[in-house]
Amino acid sequence: MNEHIVATPVTETSGRGRLFGRVALVGGGGGGIGRAVAQLFVSEGASVVVADRPESDGKSVAESLGIHGEFAEVDVRSSSDWAAAVDLSQSRFGTPPDIFVQVAGVMVGGAVDSATEESVRLALDVNAVGNFLGIQAVIPGMKGQRRGSIVIVTSMAGVSYGVAGLTPYSMSKAAASALVQCAALDLGKHGIRVNSVVPGQIDTPMSRNAGVSPDPSFFAKMPIPRVGQPRDVAHAALYLSSDESSWVTGTHLLVDGGMDAGPVLG
């Protein structure tokens, strides 16, 4: 047998779900995309610690997951909050998380000539440093298990292109994207994979509050002519979290209805 031909490991699902027996920590699990991730993961056999701010919908999302859900009060800017969420996973589900999906984020706008220093620092703190602190919190448990999958939700803003009037947000998402690649390089030897999902416009409270309402004429020109739904992002996170992506790390998976492929002419 050719030594370079290695049998593909069979993913054990046996009808029990693609994440059967896994424990996931979902940052921002009370938000539009985070809720879809938490619910899909439980339907695929995982237990989920929903991490979000106390004033979010995180607690009710966790309650909707029944015995497979638990809520952790986390401000992503706090390393001690992340550590407590990992401890909660251990005490509630018997193991630290072997999946970490970081969805929490804030939309902070401003053009480069008018954005305040405070707004740039806020975006970087939540959308970039928050991811870094979360990753640091889950690493020891994943190293101990010799496996782990980390998925960071970034954005096409700052990754595929800049967006006029969104300097703080775009800067922070570009930093998060670089973090994904650095972490993939540093952690692969420990059996930990790190990837990002890069959404286009998704219909959630964040996009609605930002006044980016789904304009039918905008979406009509896209290869797949509709606004994205939270479940579109959740299914991408599921693939990257499951063993089906066991040879995938350091990648950025676009979920954008084809928007990044280029302009549709005619």
Query: Are 60 and 44 within 8 A, CB to CB?
Result: no
Q: Among residues 121 and 147, whose Cβ is nearest to ligand NAD?
A: 121
Contact residues for ligand NAD, defined by CB under 6 A: 28, 30-34, 52-53, 56, 74-77, 103-106, 126, 153, 155, 199, 201-202, 204-207
Smallest distance, ligand NAD to C-beta of residue 178, A: 16
Smallest distance, ligand NAD to C-beta of residue 107, A: 6
Residue 150's SS3 state is strand
Q: Among residues 53 and 143, whose Cβ is nearest to ligand NAD?
A: 53
Whole-angstrom distance, CA of residue 204 vs CA of residue 209: 9
Sequence length of the chain is 266
**Residues with active-site annotation:** 169
Query: Are 148 and 98 within 8 A, CB to CB?
Result: yes
Q: Among residues 75 and 243, whose Cβ is nearest to ligand NAD?
A: 75
Q: DSSP letters of 19-85?
A: TTT-EEEEETTTSHHHHHHHHHHHHTT-EEEEEE-TTSSHHHHHHHTGGGEEEEE--TT-HHHHHHH
Q: Among residues 77 and 235, whose Cβ is nearest to ligand NAD?
A: 77
Smallest distance, ligand NAD to C-beta of residue 12, A: 30
Smallest distance, ligand NAD to C-beta of residue 230, A: 7
